[in-house]
Amino acid sequence: MQILKKYKTRFEEYLQNNPFTGTPSELYEPVQYIMHLGGKRLRPAMAMMGYELFKEDIEKALPVAMAVEVFHNFSLVHDDIMDEALVRRGKPTVHKQYGDNAAILSGDVMLVLASQMITNLGDTDLIPPLIRIFNRAAIEVCEGQQMDMNFEQREDVTIPEYITMIGLKTAALLAASLEMGAVTAGADQADVQCVYDFGFQIGIAFQLQDDILDTFGDPEVFGKKIGGDIVQNKKTFLILKALEVADSKQRQRLEELMNTPTEDEKEKIEEVTNLLKSLDIPAFAEAEKNKYKKLAFDSLNKVNGSNSGKAVLKELAELIVGRDI
Amino acid sequence: MQILKKYKTRFEEYLQNNPFTGTPSELYEPVQYIMHLGGKRLRPAMAMMGYELFKEDIEKALPVAMAVEVFHNFSLVHDDIMDEALVRRGKPTVHKQYGDNAAILSGDVMLVLASQMITNLGDTDLIPPLIRIFNRAAIEVCEGQQMDMNFEQREDVTIPEYITMIGLKTAALLAASLEMGAVTAGADQADVQCVYDFGFQIGIAFQLQDDILDTFGDPEVFGKKIGGDIVQNKKTFLILKALEVADSKQRQRLEELMNTPTEDEKEKIEEVTNLLKSLDIPAFAEAEKNKYKKLAFDSLNKVNGSNSGKAVLKELAELIVGRDI
């Protein structure tokens, strides 16, 4: 995580200096709560890195860094209501702590506050393009979340559909974070497009790595319970690929397991994990992830940005597709 | 409603020509559903009227008219979840029809779509000021909704606090609708401020009239069940004023009624209504409403806009504080 440390420190300082206070306090307290639950601050770091490709004074990127982090946390607040999740980063989720109504309304105000941070930028010319990027990504995240919910009800999800879904739900915002940093630094349109492509492709790799770690990760490093996706019968890349390459008997057993509410968690995780291993799914997933990593590096190589800035993004990409993020 | 008809017709036509379609359909269908439940289209009309004060080609105001109507409907979708309301304009509410999760997520995307309509305007210079007005009003609506929820738990709400709450929850968006129309027409800052003030003050009068009609209105004309606020123990202007002017015995009885879940609706409505009448509350409410109407007209008189445009707004104001909207 060394590469992220500098950006995280700078961002946390900015967050401390810009608290979410306002009236009525019942509206703003949940915002302050979720924003201070911590996390890697990956999106703010990417906004700053996108800026740093073209200019050095990265404090200029802090308002957009904050905007993308506030938006990301808004999406966590509302997703946690929908998923009935009770714990986030080891603490009660916002709706568990403050109730569903407060979580809905505080989430709403976060979505507007994120946009407002962009309109507070001194350089008025930057506002229209940045708001356009922000709104497009925000809409895509909603579309991705809806697709994800639809998949829970469907038996015939394909791998291309899954990639489309994670592109919308996860990669679009990572890409927009980088893009907004680049636009804030005044990058030209061709470079902005390549930066976006890099962010989008590495975002797909990020989610595939998340799928891999959720089943095959080291619980000490991953930070979440291993096997959560299996327990929730989530149709991740691993499962969809397994359904594709399994013989009919294996497919039948996997579908049976996926269609049954989990009774013995440990037993189910073990059986599914062993099945995935026997089908060589970890290797398929690594190959898919590396395909997107390669695309991402190709995009980054086209950017006319500083060598030091590109080196930082390459290191970030290695970290994302690696083992400890 | 004659005055509104021209604007409503123009808006409905625009709405027909710009349907909310997109993928996945589960996200966009609830948007299309709520946007076509009808209504007076008061906010779009006000956006067009704000434009018409300064320029004649009102079709230029249609994108901002749509933005404020989409935002207003977003707030209805999320408020109806929070209030557990089952019926809206004679039809099932969005969460009743599509489920809570779809209502949360479709509401979220509406908030972004409203902002996106503004960024789609051809004149880029208009985008920063319009987005700033939109975001400020959106934040105020959230603050007003939270204050309203807080009041349910409080016994000591004052009339000034109530006026602040309805200013945020209702008047801010009506004012912003007019303001966005005026800004789109290129009005200067002093005029924009007076237009906003008019909209805000008439917005307060609008909510006070709504309070009056909810208890003393003609059910045929009002369109909602009379006495709904009394059944829900809502602390409206009528109740707060009654608590202020009542003698100790009357106050005790009113507090008792307000703190008891409603058993016999008809009986409770009758008792509270009679108490309000005996305390002359309708006259107090009329006086308060007319105070804001007077302030609104004073603001409108300061605007350097067309006489025909000002005449339309005066007619609208009379309609709003009158009996049949």
CB A192 within 8 A of CB A175: no
User: CATH for A2-321?
Assistant: 1.10.600.10
Mutate to test the interface with B, among A28, A116, A130, A146 (most CBs of B within 10 A): A146
Closest-CA residue to A137 (of A176, A163, A104, A88): A176
Q: Where are the domains of chain B?
A: 2-321
pTM, full prediction: 0.96
Whether residues B139 and A116 touch (CB distance < 8 A) is answered with yes
CB A110 within 8 A of CB B129: no
* pLDDT (0 to 100) of residue B325: 42
* A11-37: pLDDT as tens digits: 999 999 999 999 999 999 999 999 999
* pLDDT (0 to 100) of residue B305: 97
* pLDDT (0 to 100) of residue B34: 98
The beta-carbon neighbor of B119 closest among A82, A105, A135 is A135
Peptide bond connecting B128 to the previous residue in cis, omega within 30 degrees of 0:
no
Q: Give the whole-angstrom CA distance, residue B171 versus residue B163.
A: 10
More confident residue, B325 or A189: A189
Alpha helix (H) ranges present in chain A? Answer: 2-17, 25-35, 42-52, 62-82, 94-98, 100-119, 127-152, 159-166, 172-184, 189-216, 219-222, 228-231, 237-245, 248-258, 265-278, 281-301, 307-321
* B209-259: pLDDT as tens digits: 999 999 998 877 776 788 999 999 999 999 999 999 999 999 999 999 998
* pLDDT (0 to 100) of residue B220: 75
Residue A323, pLDDT > 70, answer no
CB B217 within 8 A of CB B324: no
Q: Give the whole-angstrom CA distance, residue A101 versus residue B67.
A: 24
The beta-carbon neighbor of A111 closest among B111, B149, B150 is B111
Q: Which stretches of chain B drop beneath a pLDDT of 50?
A: 325
Q: Give the whole-angstrom CA distance, residue B96 versus residue B87.
A: 8
* pLDDT (0 to 100) of residue A325: 42
* pLDDT (0 to 100) of residue A1: 60
Please give the average per-residue pLDDT across A93-115, as a whole number.
98
* A261-307: pLDDT as tens digits: 878 899 999 999 999 999 999 999 999 999 999 999 999 999 999 99
Residue A205 is encoded by which pair of tokens? 């790799």
Which residue's structure tokens are 């209501």?
Answer: A81
* pLDDT (0 to 100) of residue A322: 84
The beta-carbon neighbor of B145 closest among A82, A105, A116 is A105
Chain A residues touching B22 at Cβ < 8 A: 143
Q: Give the whole-angstrom CA distance, residue B308 versus residue B318.
A: 15
Q: Give the whole-angstrom CA distance, residue B59 versus residue B128.
A: 21
ipTM for the whole complex: 0.96
Residue A126, pLDDT > 50, answer yes
Residue of B nearest to A151 (CA): B24
Whether residues B132 and A143 touch (CB distance < 8 A) is answered with no
* pLDDT (0 to 100) of residue B219: 78
The DSSP bridge partners found for residue B92 are B87
- CB pairs below 8 Å between A and B: how many? 109
Whether residues B116 and A101 touch (CB distance < 8 A) is answered with no
* pLDDT (0 to 100) of residue B262: 80
Chain B residues touching A115 at Cβ < 8 A: 115, 131, 135
* pLDDT (0 to 100) of residue A218: 83
Please give the average per-residue pLDDT across A126-153, as a whole number.
97
Q: Give the whole-angstrom CA distance, residue B203 versus residue B197.
A: 10
